[in-house]
């Protein structure tokens, strides 16, 4: 799997099959080999890259079996792009045991030329007992081991019912397979148990090999696509487009409507301007089925297009937050996601602003990092002074009087930001000034937050004009760069010292460069974090309690990285697992010789999995020294 664009766990990527590349996120429409009424041209015009069909149905139907063995599955279903075949697992779940074993059905899929071949796994039901689900996990893994994977794309489904530890075990075991569907979720989707599904996806994704495609089996309704993609799902299959068409149901991204109850089709529909709903109802069943299927597929791929654009813009989280209000079950899923421990997979910052709606926004990982740092920041014997909105406001340059007050004492200075209190020095650091707020103030929550702060440091007061100051004990700009560095690198010691020279932008007044001996150590970006120069990387490397920000590469790679070339995953020998995606890293050799500085494209946890693509985008190589 090659990574193209990323927002936290969501990604746009691509992987190769024998019949072409698939760019993810993607949906594979289910093609019934007995009922294939849409041409390849029609499918591709709607956005289809790949399809899925059922090898069990093909094998047990003599006419289909003989044709597929002679001419291949692509010719059988009239689709020359990538074709995935299912194994009959779902039929086994619905109807009981099937007449073929795992090896037989896998060999059959190979013989008919399937691009992605699925083993005959054991379907785990949500109501299965623990031992039943556990046996299914290990039997599915045994069946994967029966198969000669070779150079084939074998799908090894992750099972484990609703049990987090079993999903974790299964994800680790099945990562031996090149392609990883999450199985056993259709009953949860059908009953709108999206909060349980959130837990299943997370436990499957974060314990699987990140370099491999994750497929949500049966996750074909677009109302849950964005949630799934945000948590790392790459592919879906969908039979909903035709199932709904058979019932005269019209699919939209937020739900379905009955054909009899709508006035007109939306302008994006292939039916707009061609049919009125009442006209389509008068058509033959065959025509109506085809036309509604095309509309439903268009709805599905509209949502996929929107999700891709959101990932590129870094606004998918916002999109999910918006969609969570479309249905109570989705809102419950969103709250479950907020309470999940996936903070380590979030980038250091995003291109898009942070939206603050209410106190649920405080559970966003970007805000949780701020809160965690604030507790560390005040964990000393110093008095804490809080500035309210009368003296400080996010996005507005700090007044000279505030800087003067800051410089005249050694207090911990906190400022009110939405319903929490954070260090003044982080005024320009994402997401503080890069935010759009509802400005809904919750005094009760602020009181609660202050009580939590007092558990760390009880000496907290609000600033008022009666507090006097008349001596200079520190410099605001140096205090600011020290705090930002410690926040960015999760380090107790700063890279900078009081003699470093700070350069401000003449146009905006914001800090731009930090120099030592006339050499730039770091540049402050628009998101308020630092980009390191090679001099800054060299200084960082010398800190005794250095931040865990190293990527170790081979000597051959190091020679190129020293010349400003990017680091590719395949040349990485080791790395620090606490690396945050988008944060600055040092590119070093096995003896800690510095080659370059740059920013990581993925977190340290993910870095161990990828084999293709750029791991570190290098800013500057050591040859510049």
DSSP letters for 558-602: HHHHTTTPPEEGGGEEEE-TTPPTT-EEEEE-TT--EEEEEEESS
Residue 87 has pLDDT above 60, yes or no: yes
pLDDT at 99 (0 to 100):
78
**Architecture of the domain delimited by 343-474:** Alpha-Beta Complex (3.90)
Helix (H) or strand (E) holding 173: helix 164-174
Residue in 541, 539, 549 with CA at minimum distance from that of residue 598:
549
Mean pLDDT within 462-479:
84
- Show Cβ contacts of residue 349 under 8 Å, excluding neighbours closer than 6 positions: 366, 430, 431, 434, 527, 528, 529, 582
Q: If pLDDT is split at 50, 70 and 90, which confidence band does 423 have?
A: very high
pLDDT at 585 (0 to 100):
97
How far apart CA 543 and CA 586 sit, in angstroms, is 13
Backbone φ and ψ of 428, nearest 5°: -105, 5
Note the pTM of the prediction, 2 decimals: 0.94
Q: What is the DSSP code string of 207-244?
A: TS-TTS-EEETT---GGGHHHHHHTT--EEEE-HHHHH
Residue 465's SS3 state is coil
The domain spans of the chain are: 2-338, 343-474, 495-624
Q: Is the dihedral of CA 107, 112, 118, 120 positive or negative?
A: negative
Q: Give first-to-last CA distance, the chain, whole Å.
A: 36
**Contact yes or no for 317/230 (Cβ under 8 A):** yes
**Architecture of the domain delimited by 495-624:** Roll (2.30)
Residue 52 has pLDDT above 90, yes or no: yes
Backbone φ and ψ of 563, nearest 5°: -100, 20
pLDDT at 561 (0 to 100):
98
Pairing of strands 511-516, 501-504: antiparallel
What CATH number does the domain located at 2-338 have?
A: 3.20.20.105
Q: How far is CA 158 from the centre of its chain?
A: 19
User: Per residue in 11-44, pLDDT tens?
Assistant: 999 999 999 999 999 999 999 998 888 999 999 9
User: Per residue in 574-598, pLDDT tens?
Assistant: 999 999 999 999 999 999 999 999 9
Tokens 């994006």 correspond to 268
How far apart CA 415 and CA 453 sit, in angstroms, is 13
Mean pLDDT within 183-211:
95
- Show Cβ contacts of residue 131 under 8 Å, excluding neighbours closer than 6 positions: none
- Show Cβ contacts of residue 93 under 8 Å, excluding neighbours closer than 6 positions: 123, 125
The encoded tokens of residue 136 equal 């299914």
Q: If pLDDT is split at 50, 70 and 90, which confidence band does 471 have?
A: confident
pLDDT at 464 (0 to 100):
82
Residue 268 has pLDDT above 90, yes or no: yes
pLDDT at 97 (0 to 100):
63
**Contact yes or no for 88/126 (Cβ under 8 A):** no
User: Per residue in 102-133, pLDDT tens?
Assistant: 999 999 999 999 999 999 999 899 999 999 99
Write out the E strands in 35-162.
51-54, 83-86, 116-118, 153-155
How far apart CA 331 and CA 105 sit, in angstroms, is 40
- DSSP secondary-structure letter at 151? T
Residue in 371, 386, 490, 385 with CA at minimum distance from that of residue 431:
371
Q: If pLDDT is split at 50, 70 and 90, which confidence band does 396 have?
A: confident
The encoded tokens of residue 211 equal 């370099």
Q: If pLDDT is split at 50, 70 and 90, which confidence band does 472 have?
A: confident
Residue 347's SS3 state is coil
Residue 95 has pLDDT above 60, yes or no: no
Q: What is the DSSP code string of 383-437?
A: -EEEE-TTT--TTSPPPHHHHHHHHT--PEEEEEETTEEEEGGGTTSTTSSSEEE
For residue 86, indicate whether it is catalytic.
yes
Q: How many helices (H) and strands (E) does the chain have?
A: 23, 29
Q: If pLDDT is split at 50, 70 and 90, which confidence band does 93 have?
A: low
- Helix, strand, coil shares of the chain, percent, nearest 5, are 40, 20, 40
Write out the E strands in 241-360.
249-252, 255-258, 354-356
Long-range contacts for 397-406 (Cβ within 8 Å, ≥24 apart)?
A: 397/509, 398/424, 398/427, 398/476, 403/476, 404/469, 405/463, 405/467, 405/469, 406/474, 406/476, 406/479
Q: How many CB atoms lie within 10 A of CB 263?
A: 7
Which of 18, 45, 66, 86 does the annotation list as catalytic?
A: 86
User: Per residue in 277-312, pLDDT tens?
Assistant: 999 999 999 999 999 999 999 999 999 999 999 999
Q: If pLDDT is split at 50, 70 and 90, which confidence band does 96 have?
A: low
Mean pLDDT within 226-244:
96
- DSSP secondary-structure letter at 78? T
């Amino acid at each position: 799997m090659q990574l193209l664009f990323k927002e936290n766990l969501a990604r746009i990527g691509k992987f190769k099959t024998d019949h072409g590349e698939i760019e993810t996120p993607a949906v594979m429409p289910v093609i019934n080999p007995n009922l294939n009424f849409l041409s390849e041209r029609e499918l591709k015009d709607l956005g289809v890259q790949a399809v899925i069909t059922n090898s069990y149905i093909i094998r047990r139907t003599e006419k289909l079996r003989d044709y597929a063995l002679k001419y291949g599955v692509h010719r059988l279903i009239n689709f020359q792009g990538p074709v995935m075949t299912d194994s009959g697992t779902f039929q086994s779940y619905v109807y009981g045991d099937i007449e073929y074993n795992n090896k037989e059905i896998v060999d059959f899929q190979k013989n008919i030329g399937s691009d992605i071949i699925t083993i005959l796994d054991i379907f785990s039901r949500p109501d299965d007992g623990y031992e039943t689900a556990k046996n299914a996990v290990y039997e599915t893994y045994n069946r994967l081991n029966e198969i000669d994977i070779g150079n084939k794309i074998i799908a090894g489904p992750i099972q484990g019912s609703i049990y987090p530890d079993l999903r974790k075990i299964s994800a680790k075991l099945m990562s031996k397979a090149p392609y990883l569907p999450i199985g056993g979720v259709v009953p949860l989707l059908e009953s709108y148990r999206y909060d349980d599904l959130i837990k299943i996806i997370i436990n499957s994704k974060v314990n699987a090999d990140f370099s491999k495609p994750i497929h949500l089996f049966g996750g074909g309704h677009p109302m849950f696509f964005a949630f799934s993609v945000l948590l790392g799902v790459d592919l879906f299959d969908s039979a909903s487009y035709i199932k709904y068409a058979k019932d005269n149901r019209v699919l939209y991204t937020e739900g379905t409507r009955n054909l009899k109850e709508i006035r007109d089709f939306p302008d994006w529909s292939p039916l707009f301007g061609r049919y009125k709903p009442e006209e389509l109802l008068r058509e033959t069943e065959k025509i109506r089925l085809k036309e509604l299927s095309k509309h439903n597929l268009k709805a599905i791929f509209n949502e996929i297009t929107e999700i891709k654009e959101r990932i590129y813009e870094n606004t998918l989280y916002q999109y999910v937050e918006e969609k969570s209000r479309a249905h109570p079950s989705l809102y419950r899923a969103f709250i479950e996601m907020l309470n999940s421990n996936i903070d380590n997979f979030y980038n250091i910052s995003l291109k898009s602003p942070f939206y603050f709606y209410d106190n649920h926004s405080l559970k966003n990982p970007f805000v949780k990092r701020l809160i965690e740092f604030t507790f560390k920041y005040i964990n000393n014997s110093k008095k804490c002074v809080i500035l309210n909105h009368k003296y400080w406001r996010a996005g507005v340059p700090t007044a000279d009087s505030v800087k003067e007050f800051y410089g005249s004492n050694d207090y911990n200075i906190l400022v009110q930001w939405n319903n929490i209190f954070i260090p003044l020095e982080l005024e320009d650091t994402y997401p503080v000034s890069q935010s759009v707020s509802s400005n809904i103030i919750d005094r009760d929550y602020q009181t609660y937050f202050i009580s939590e702060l007092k558990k760390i440091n009880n000496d907290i007061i609000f600033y008022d004009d009666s507090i006097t100051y008349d001596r200079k004990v520190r410099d605001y700009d140096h205090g600011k760069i020290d705090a930002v560095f410690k926040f960015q690198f999760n380090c107790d010691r700063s890279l900078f010292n009081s003699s470093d020279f700070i350069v401000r932008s003449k146009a905006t007044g914001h800090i731009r460069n930090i120099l030592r001996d006339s050499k730039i150590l770091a540049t402050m970006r628009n998101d308020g974090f630092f980009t390191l120069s090679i001099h800054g990387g060299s200084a960082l490397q010398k800190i005794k309690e250095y931040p865990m920000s190293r990527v170790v590469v081979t000597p051959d790679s190091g020679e190129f990285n020293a010349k400003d070339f990017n680091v590719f995953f395949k040349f990485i020998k080791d790395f620090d697992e606490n690396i945050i995606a988008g944060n600055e890293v040092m590119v070093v050799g096995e003896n800690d010789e510095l080659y370059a500085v740059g920013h990581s494209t993925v977190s340290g946890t993910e870095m161990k999995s990828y084999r293709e693509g750029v791991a570190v985008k290098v800013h500057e190589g050591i040859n510049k020294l």
